[in-house]
Structure 1
Amino acid sequence: MTDPCAVAHGESAPPEAGRVLVAVFDSPVAEYLLRYGEDLGYETILVDPAGETTAIPALDERADVVVTNHHRPELGAQLQAALAQPARWIGVLGNPRHPGPHVEALRALGVPDEEIARVHRPVGLNIGSRTPPEIAIATLAGLLADRNDRPGGFAFPAP
């Protein structure tokens, strides 16, 4: 097992992360998610129907999928494709004060409510993020907390 202190001090290499981050829809947030995700050891993939990778690739339980634009007409189809696979985590960016349009889009495609419930919204830690880099940091911090079975924030268990 790798010593976390040794990794933090640059004395040993971090263990292979084996994580995949899929950003759906090219956007400023997606740009930062993918950039910072690479720094965190994710294999990163951008999916956009108007880009080079137009469809959700084959995913397994290592994959975290973040939809970065909830206004796109392809929202339902892209989420349906992600939900058809065993991705570890699927989420959609959006203001938590407004209903998520993904629910209606998925229901229109006949996706069962149990599957729709797999979609997280809002995503990320509640740090008051507003700019694309802040949103990306909050999202990635939330994914790391979830992967490590931690609540996020500044509460730590007693030693």
Structure 2
Amino acid sequence: MADDSCAVAHGDAADQTATRTLVAVFASPVAGYLIRYGNDLGYRTVLVEPERGRVSNAEHGAAAAVLTALPAGLGADADVVVTDHHRVELGPMLRDALASPVRWVGVMGNPRHPAPHIPALTDLGVSPGDIERVHRPVGLNIGSRTPPEIAIATLAGLLADRNGRKGGFDF
């Protein structure tokens, strides 16, 4: 009998990803790659974009659903990634994600710059404990610069976190 990694490599392992949901908030180039690669990883992908005119079918059409608000019923199988920290809807989107039992919430952004989600959530009355649930930056530190690289780093970080690993080459 092969070990687990061998079974996976040969396609003999049961699919463990069927219940994962990836919610990309705000249509952006990074969101397009998150959706594309998330589908490849077995996530059910959802794009949330309050302004439908920003959604490009070419870039975001692979999402299982395109919604203007976070879907009701998001559970502990969901990871929420906010791909634009400059949008006025940042606070309400994060507040709504934090109000549901999602597994993970993160906002893309440079850790050397102030975190705009903190005052946005504070102004909405979100508790400091809930604000601390928001991850920023997101993804593994692999020196990503382009949208596809950022999406890969983000998804690798989500997978590492989901699997209780730090990520990287240390075993």
Q: TM-score, normalized by length of structure 1?
A: 0.93
Q: 1:140 aligns with which of 140, 155, 165?
A: 155
Unaligned runs of 5+ in 2: 53-65
CA RMSD between the two structures: 1.2
Q: What amino acid is the match of 1:107?
A: T
TM superposition shift of 1:6: 1.8
Q: What amino acid is the match of 1:35?
A: R
Q: What amino acid is the match of 1:38?
A: N
Q: Show the counterpart of 2:140.
A: 125
Could you list the per-position Cα deviations for residues 65-116 of structure 1 after superposition, in whole angstroms to 9, with x for gaps in the alignment?
A: 0000000000000001101000000000000101110001001111111110
Q: What amino acid is the match of 1:54?
A: T
Q: What amino acid is the match of 1:42?
A: Y
CA distance in 2, matches of 1:15, 1:46: 23
Q: 1:91 aligns with which of 84, 97, 106?
A: 106
Q: TM-score, normalized by length of structure 2?
A: 0.87
TM superposition shift of 1:14: 4.1
Q: Show the counterpart of 1:77.
A: 92
User: Contact between 2:140 and 2:156, CA under 8 Å: does it hold in 1?
Assistant: yes
Q: Which runs of 4+ in 1 moved over 4 A?
A: none
Unaligned runs of 5+ in 1: none
Q: 1:55 aligns with which of 69, 81, 98?
A: 69
1:29 and 2:30 aligned: yes
Q: Show the counterpart of 1:15.
A: 15
Q: How does 1:109-124 map to 2 (within 5 A)?
A: 109-124=124-139
- Percent identical among aligned pairs is 69
